[in-house]
Amino acid sequence: MDTKARLRISEVNILQTCLAIEETCAGMYRYFAHLYADNPAAADLWAKTAQEEDNHAEQFHLACRLYGSGMKSLKSDMEKVQKILTNIQTIFNHVKTAPPALSDALRYAIKMETSLAEYHMNTIVEFEDENLARLFSSMKKNDQEHTQMLERAYEAVCSEITGEAKVI
């Protein structure tokens, strides 16, 4: 008999919603890369950030394919993650209909990334399998780094606006 921990179907559904959150963020960042294509540094920043979100989505995809095998439980519920997904979809729809200035897009992204940090694999899943836990733990460091990257870009854009030109 298999005694390895597994998540319930309802918990796997939560992981699938987290996957959708990551995919929506990646889509928004790709949209920003296209929107700011005339600024190569900004376009590269958004493309890189989209790729990082794609990597996060792949981690959730892997967890879903494993049906939560090696995972004991989740530290979140469907209502919370669904609300987050809805909020991000609303923001994405808003920026598509009213494209923001680059500085505003960066502020949106920084705020989103900061608020989403607690909903990544390494923070919402209680793992039984230590190897699996290590596999997913690298996400936290990457999140901190890409939030810092967005913050540096925001500071550079603000400096440029005030006359102290810096390149993103």
pTM for the model: 0.85
- Is the pLDDT confidence value at 127 over 50? yes
Percent of the chain with pLDDT over 70: 86
CB-CB neighbours of 51 under 10 Å: 13
pLDDT bucket at 103, cuts 50 / 70 / 90: very high
Structure tokens belonging to residue 145: 């780094």
Question: Which residues, including other chains, have CB under 8 Å from residue 144's CB and lie 6 or more apart?
Answer: 117
> 3-state class of 153 per DSSP?
helix
Q: What is the pLDDT of residue 121?
A: 67
Q: What is the pLDDT of residue 4?
A: 65
State the average pLDDT for the chain.
85
Q: What is the pLDDT of residue 140?
A: 63
Higher pLDDT, residue 161 or 112: 112
How does pLDDT run across 42-73, given as a tens digit for each residue?
A: 999 999 999 989 988 998 898 888 887 888 88
Higher pLDDT, residue 12 or 3: 12
State the average pLDDT over residues 89-116. 92
d(CA 149, CA 75): 28
- Decide if 92 contacts 31 (C-beta within 8 A): yes
Please list the residues that pair with 127 across neighbouring strands: 71
Higher pLDDT, residue 38 or 62: 38
Structure tokens belonging to residue 71: 């995972």
d(CA 73, CA 13): 13
